[in-house]
Structure 1
């Protein structure tokens, strides 16, 4: 990987190089696997990019290392387990997210939210079936566990999936359905995909900027199709995410003292 990626944020490693072992130790990922076609120079450069991106994500969310690794349950793969035509993906069965060697950059925020959406399902609803996402469950269930954090999380889903009055589908959802119909698929309008793209927008709008972490929520072809929140809707979504993750981060820091 020889591309450069725009970044504006704090120096998390005092300019020193890091390895993927440092990434795993810092965040306590369950495991990190690197593809055999990733060269040593690529490993060195990619490790620094991942380290900065994950630290930036932690900073944006106001959380801790345990939030990034989902309490050590999340595994990371780089340059391994790719799918044809897919630059990055999250696999619920193994709780791992994978980025292709040359096509994954900019996808970390999206795939991380899939992992979080999957992880948080049982915290929001108690018992859930394996592989279910909280965002999808929220559309069909009304028995969420009562907790202030769960109330804030549900406010995020409401801001993304419903209009301002909470009575009709959001404009983001409508545009996503339109894109699905045009392509003859059902993908963009899936609640887990809607929420992951909305999370991307929230992360990209933060003061800390990192194009290896997220990109494309304003100028990409998908953005031009209305597949990311815009205008007042984007402000509502960003506000809901900020409220939730600020409270979650505060709770985690208090619990980990």
Structure 2
């Protein structure tokens, strides 16, 4: 079995999995004497319990960690403080060492919990603590960490046989009694879940009450009355009527439906396909990619994996990234080995994102110069995030601050009249800008119409378009919904108008081509990228039509389709023949296939096209 691929290159600060290490380092730097002088909140702060579970720690173990931490008593005070201090300090350090031991071992599970619980319960000075903490740990493992269980305690009746119950003295909540502790625990968990449900319903009702839209009407050019719902700046068209009386009558009879439709129209619509189609294009490797191959070829600053990205998945991610970067180089006409942007860019796979509803599938961090692709949804967004990285590093290369972007129109001497201003104008005067502004009407603030986001979307549009022209497809780079599919999803939410935020149609691609090529050429001129010196191989049209999948129903893990493989290679739907595990070797271009009659060479013109000459870089 192959060894699990670990992070390689530089250590990229800020990853989710570094939370435990950062917390442990902070606690270890505190001396025993400081526990006597400083508050517990400073010398032994609460760790991020939910974050540790997200990083792969066992929920029961983290529940026990929290129960122990919350059991730590405050420093003794008063007349007997001196006599009690020694006993207090022994208890505090015992719990501290147990908590640190559990957090320091991500693989440690329930066996570790039971062992430490036994050690604490077996100590005279901590009698009874371990058992109660175990009960709370079980409750935390079920209920999560949204609220503390510190004020909950376990009690029993004085008469025999004992009956057990949990109570929260601070909230004056007393649960029903049970014959066993386990029964009492289940009652407490059910009671807390019920309290949360009631609170959630109250919040939801209050939210609905606060979010009632305003309704208004306007007269269309046809003379009909158009009825709208409005949330702040967000306007949602509802229905069209012959006159005002008909509009008022409909609203009075269908008010709840109108409110629901208005809320639905505020939802974000996905921009990408739900699944990635198999890759179509030339073979770029033989066998799996090793970290050494990846680093030697592309020279990224670092590559990072999240704890939840399994060993086999890590190899698949590296293979897909290799193929994707080779395809990206072909699409934009640069040497793919320069795509690390002078070795400054890093890649993270499922290591830095935040889950939950509405979470981004990928993001770029200018502070660490790293692209993060989430484990489940990141594939399909790399070209977009690479556009952000290129935009950011080009601005910084010519003197902009760390968080600046070339597309936003930087100021400063000759540079203002150069590529930044030209690119900004090319974006703002493009049809995508007006459609993006229309889409932003359904948001509380501008997002799609900002120049930085428009550049990233138009960049990935160009990448996908140019691969299409070469008879290729790589959804890992850019999996974009076509205009009809996107508008269809929006019609289901009651959204109308021209709101597709990507390039569409040959005229729009042609209109942005000059700006796009100038950006790539400028990046080459300052050394962020290097021009391609080899021709780009394209596939004959007949072969593309014959082998392109009919639909994108296959998942991201599907085997890539190789248009230039030997004829005995299985097609989609056929059983894949086993291939020996061999070290990756970049296949020479001449060996992939006979050179096409007219190879396509991506040119980077730097001529005197209108508005793009005399570019000055400081």
Q: Report the TM-score, using the length of structure 1 for normalisation.
A: 0.81
2:431 to 162, 165, 171: 171
For the structure 1 residues 67 and 159, does the alpha-carbon distance in structure 2 shift closer, same or farther, using more than 3 Å as the test? farther
Pair 1:237 & 2:512 matched = yes
Residue 165 of structure 1 corresponds to none
RMSD value, Cα: 2.8
For the structure 1 residues 199 and 4, does the alpha-carbon distance in structure 2 shift closer, same or farther, using more than 3 Å as the test? closer
Residue 348 of structure 2 corresponds to 77
For the structure 1 residues 234 and 134, does the alpha-carbon distance in structure 2 shift closer, same or farther, using more than 3 Å as the test? same
Corresponding pairs, count: 238
* 1-structure distance, mates of 2:481, 2:424: 18
* 1-structure distance, mates of 2:291, 2:389: 20
For the structure 1 residues 244 and 135, does the alpha-carbon distance in structure 2 shift closer, same or farther, using more than 3 Å as the test? closer
Aligned pairs for 1:109-188 (under 5 A) are 109-123=383-397, 126-138=398-410, 143-144=414-415, 151=419, 155-162=422-429, 170-188=430-448
1:33 aligned counterpart, secondary structure: strand
Unaligned runs of 5+ in 2: 1-274, 491-498, 534-618
Pair 1:53 & 2:320 matched = no
1:97 aligned counterpart, secondary structure: strand
CA contact (8 A) 1:201 1:228 kept: yes
1:104 to 362, 368, 378: 378
Task: Return the structure number with greater relative CO, CA threshold 8 A, min gap 6.
Answer: 1
1:144 aligned counterpart, secondary structure: helix
* 2-structure distance, mates of 1:34, 1:210: 22
CA contact (8 A) 1:27 1:68 kept: yes
1:120 aligned counterpart, secondary structure: helix
Quick check: which has more Rg, 1 or 2?
Answer: 2
1:46 aligned counterpart, secondary structure: helix
2:460 to 184, 194, 200: 200
2:364 aligned counterpart, secondary structure: strand
More deviation, 211-220/112-121:
211-220
What is the deviation of 1:45?
1.3
1:90 aligned counterpart, secondary structure: strand
What is the deviation of 1:222?
7.4
CA contact (8 A) 1:200 1:217 kept: no
* 1-structure distance, mates of 2:366, 2:392: 7
1:24-80 C-alpha deviation (Å, 9 max, x unpaired): 221000000011111111111111111100111011122124531000000110011
Pair 1:210 & 2:474 matched = yes
* 1-structure distance, mates of 2:434, 2:334: 32
Pair 1:68 & 2:332 matched = no
What is the deviation of 1:22?
2.6
Greater helix content: 1
Unaligned runs of 5+ in 1: 163-169
* 2-structure distance, mates of 1:21, 1:181: 48
2:450 to 164, 167, 190: 190
1:102 aligned counterpart, secondary structure: coil
